[in-house]
Amino acid sequence: MPLHLLSDGSTFAYSNVEKPKICYLHGWGRDSKDFKNIMEFFPGIAVDLPGFGKTKNLNQSLDPSEYAIYLNNILPPEITTVVGHSFGGRVAVHLSLLRNIQNLVLIGVPLLLNKQNTNGFNKLSILKYLSKFGLVSNKTIESTKNKVGSFDYRNSKGIMRDTLVKAVNDDLTKKLELIDSNVNLIWGEDDTEVPVSVAIQAKDLFKNSKLTIIPNQGHNILRSNSQSISEVLSKL
């Protein structure tokens, strides 16, 4: 089945099986096409999350838990496995607490708060607030954005920039220990965006988890070595 609309009439998804049991959620700035190679061997449904790919944003910023609530209302009931990369993994964590998900596969997901990022965004929020009273110039705000903002932040605008800030400040720590799903963590050994140390720390917070570290791979392991993801899925 080609790219099609889900029941809400606005969210696009790619599905290659009538009753998908696997749901694939892409990372920030990506879309459902990231999973096409894997889906040749493990059919399912890959969603273009609101604000990405063919799916328009919802005219309001969402945090990852709100993305999960939104998806929970429109995904097929047969879904038993959720595969999430990076930002999509954040959403997958929240989704696993809303429905009975047997297997949760998380690839390079920022499962722990990055204090450096959150402090930077908090500083920016304060400056924006002060600018409303003429206490801070637009030049200062733009300069701060370039200093504390990531590549994704600098390239996001409006609602999606606000959505990214919410995602970065999403603290999953207490959520992880509530998950009953079988959790498989897949990490590129050379991931500099979300280092392996995050996976090692987060692993102990889950009730039931396994960690697979792929040598000589970075954060974009989904595109550079999809075979390693397939190998994990074959063992579920």
67-104 confidence digits (pLDDT tens):
999 999 999 999 999 999 999 999 999 999 999 999 99
Summarize the confidence of residues 206-232 as an average pLDDT.
94
Q: Are residues 98 and 203 in the same domain?
A: yes
Position 133 confidence tier, pLDDT thresholds 50, 70, 90: low
Tokens of 23: 């749901």
Q: Are residues 87 and 122 in the same domain?
A: no
Q: What is the pLDDT of residue 158?
A: 84
Q: Are residues 11 and 77 in the same domain?
A: yes
How many distinct structural domains can be found in the chain?
2
> What is the C-alpha separation between 181 and 147, in angstroms, rounded?
39
Give kind and range of the element (H or E) at residue 82.
strand 81-85
**CA angle (102, 225, 211) in 5-degree steps:** 45
Residue 114, pLDDT above cutoff 70 = no
Q: Lowest-pLDDT range, 128-132, 136-140, 198-202? A: 128-132
Q: Are residues 106 and 133 in the same domain?
A: no
Summarize the confidence of residues 40-48 as an average pLDDT.
96
Q: Are residues 132 and 23 in the same domain?
A: no
Q: Give the residue ranges of DSSP H helices in the chain.
A: 36-39, 64-72, 87-95, 115-131, 138-148, 151-154, 158-168, 173-176, 196-203, 221-224, 226-233
Summarize the confidence of residues 46-53 as an average pLDDT.
96
Residue 118, pLDDT above cutoff 50 = no
Q: Are residues 79 and 152 in the same domain?
A: no
Backbone angles phi, psi at 104, to 5 degrees: -120, 115
> Which structural domain, as residue segments, surrounds residue 160?
115-165
Summarize the confidence of residues 197-207 as an average pLDDT.
95
Q: Are residues 179 and 218 in the same domain?
A: yes
Percent of the chain with pLDDT over 70: 82
Tokens of 229: 């993801």
In this structure, are strands 81-85 and 103-107 parallel, antiparallel, or unpaired? parallel
CB of 136 within 8 A of CB of 145?
no
Q: Are residues 98 and 201 in the same domain?
A: yes
Q: Are residues 35 and 129 in the same domain?
A: no
> What is the C-alpha separation between 179 and 202, in angstroms, rounded?
12
Summarize the confidence of residues 161-182 as an average pLDDT.
92
Note the pTM of the prediction, 2 decimals: 0.86
CB of 35 within 8 A of CB of 24?
yes
CATH number, domain containing residue 182: 3.40.50.1820
Residue 27, pLDDT above cutoff 50 = yes
Q: Are residues 157 and 104 in the same domain?
A: no
Residue 129, pLDDT above cutoff 60 = no
Q: Are residues 30 and 84 in the same domain?
A: yes
Q: What is the pLDDT of residue 73?
A: 96
Range among 54-58, 85-89, 145-149, 218-222 with highest mean pLDDT value: 85-89
Backbone angles phi, psi at 49, to 5 degrees: -60, 150
Q: What is the pLDDT of residue 190?
A: 96
Q: What is the DSSP letter of 2?
A: -
Which of the two residues, 60 and 114, has the higher pLDDT score? 60
Write out the DSSP string of 180-229. Answer: -SEEEEEEETT-SSS-HHHHHHHHTTSSSEEEEEETT--TTHHHH-HHHH
Q: Are residues 30 and 108 in the same domain?
A: yes
